[in-house]
Structure 1
Amino acid sequence: MERRTFSIAQKGRTLHGYAARFGEPAAIGGFTEVIQPGAFTRSLAGPAAASIRAIYEHDDSALLGRVGAGTLRLKEDDVGLAFELDLPDTTLGRDVAELVKRGDLDGCSFGFVSVTEQWEGEQRSLQSVDLHEITITANPVYLTTTVSVRSRKPMHALANARRYLEILECIR
């Protein structure tokens, strides 16, 4: 049996973007910092990955999702640290979704402990980090980070498109 339902509660509940981008310099106090490709590989592959959280404005009490719960998905690609975040149906989750839609929240940050880094003068190059959190923020240090709202997961949209094409094939 197939059922068709439309849930308005799920519309606009997934955020996606880049919490960090490789090779993009950020001015931090008296030095510049650059994240190197592969900097997050160790964190994402290790057992501690399940405890990586998504929070709002670096506030530990403003939890939005967690890798271990499946509500936060992180992936390192050739651009940087990509994420998808299923927002909770809470006041905070609804507020964050609305602020992202309006463009008031338009960037990300991350909390980490440096494992391997190199210094050249006043430039710090992060080669490997222990990632603890990503944060949705209005004041990103890395200005090329992004966050936007996706109303449905791309896999669902692709599956629906395939199903539609299959139905068209059957009709012909």
Structure 2
Amino acid sequence: MSEIEKRMLPAQQCELRAVPPSDGQSGPAKIAGYAAVFNMRSDLLGGYFVEIIAPGAFDEVLAQDVRGLFNHDPNYLLGRTISGTLRLTTDERGLAYEIDTPDTMTIRDLVVAPIARGDMSGSSFAMRVAPGGDTWHEEDGVVVRTIYKVAELRDVGPVSFPAYPDSSAAQRSLDAWKQAQQEGIAAHSLSEREARDRLLTMIELKALGAK
């Protein structure tokens, strides 16, 4: 089962833009924007919960080999951190990226031009949350997931249709938290995170035994 989760950021939050070459310089345009913002609730995910990304969640993945992709499609590789054509930084707002786009007609027509016109509607990233890197709680009838640590950042980049697809990895984590609540495992002797991790281990062992 894949642990990779995809998250999208709407246009009004991602500040996606095409940056033309500076005066007197030549070369392809750059793409810049935010792939994620901190301390802001997402839309409802999977119809079950909202999500918040805490500052510092990406601190340990900025040096990883991350791709810049259009619509998460590996056929449209825009840049890569290992080659220096994709640069990742974090600030008080969130996870920012800048990509030196390939100087090809395909990328200019499909990606750069729509961004420059304001047609491209958001940014996205694909991640794997670290074990124990998130917590769950209920607030005013809404289940809230807070992500504190990302173990893997797979890709970032612009997307045509920002949306929050269902995530099986997040759903399994949510189900474990709900079960812990129902069975009273998250008692005073166990933290919420410890209870959820214990249940996840039990679920994984049960799945392995059923094979």
TM-score by length of 1: 0.71
Pick the structure with more strand per residue: 1
Aligned equivalent of 2:122, options 97, 101, 107: 107
- Secondary structure of 1:98's aligned partner: helix
RMSD: 1.8
Equivalent of residue 125 in structure 1, options 121, 143, 146: 146
Query: Distance in 2 between the 1:82 and 1:118 partners?
Result: 24
Deviation of residue 6 (structure 1)? 3.9
Which residue, 1, 13, 19 being the options, matches 2:35? 19
In 2, the alpha carbon distance for the partners of 1:59 and 1:99 equals 17
Is this contact kept in 2: 1:72–1:85, CA < 8 A? Answer: yes
Q: Does 1:134 align with 2:150?
A: no
1:60 to 64, 74, 79: 74
What is aligned with 1:97?
112
Q: Secondary structure at the match of 2:148?
A: strand
- The match for 1:32 is 50
User: Can you give the 5+ residue segments of structure 1 that lack an aligned partner in the other structure?
Assistant: 143-172
Residue pair 1:109, 1:141 contacting (<8 A) in 2 also: no
Tell me the distance in 1 between the aligned counterparts of 2:161 and 2:148: 24
Instruction: Count the aligned residue pairs.
Output: 132
Corresponding position of 1:42: 60
1:31 Cα offset (Å): 1.3
Identity %: 39
Matched residue type, 1:117: D
Does the residue aligned with 1:68 lie in a helix, a strand or coil?
Answer: helix
TM-superposed deviation, 1:21: 0.5
Distance 2:36 2:106 in 1: 23
SS in 2 for 1:94: helix
